[in-house]
Amino acid sequence: MRHAGSETLAGLEGVLAALRGTPGIVEQKAGIFYRGSKAFLHFHEDPTGPYADVRLQAAGDFERFRVRTATERRQLLARVRAALRP
C-alpha cells in the first residue's frame, strides 16, 4: 500500500478538517499527523479504498482502519479522540 496522494487526500477533506481541529495532534505534512515528536496518523491508498494508519497507544504500533465510508470515517475520528483523551 502506498501513502495517499493529493487526489486521495482531497477525497478525505472532511476527515482531514476534523483532524486538523483535534487538540493534541499537528499536521506536519498533508495528511500526516504527529502527536508530540512521534508520528501518530497517516493515510494510504489501496484498490479497496483509503486507509488510515493510527498509533492509538503512545508506545504501540500503527493500527490500520479503512476510511472509505462515512461510517468508517466517524469510527476513525471517535478512536482518535478517545486515544487523545488524558
pLDDT band at 12 (very low <50, low <70, confident <90, very high): very high
pLDDT tens readout for residues 24-83? 999 999 999 999 999 999 999 999 999 999 999 888 899 999 999 999 999 999 999 999
3-state DSSP: the chain helix, strand, coil percent, rounded to 5?
Answer: 35, 35, 35
Q: What is the model's pLDDT at position 59?
A: 81
Q: What is the model's pLDDT at position 86?
A: 82
| Cβ neighbours around 17 below 10 Å, total | 10
DSSP the chain: -EEP-HHHHHHTHHHHHHHHTSTT-EEEETTEEEETTEEEEEEEEETTEEEEEE--STTS--EEEE--SHHHHHHHHHHHHHHH--
User: If we measure between CA atoms, which residue out of 50, 40, 41 comes closest to residue 8?
Assistant: 50
- Whether the per-residue pLDDT at 4 is higher than 90: the answer is yes
Q: What is the model's pLDDT at position 15?
A: 97
Q: What is the model's pLDDT at position 30?
A: 96
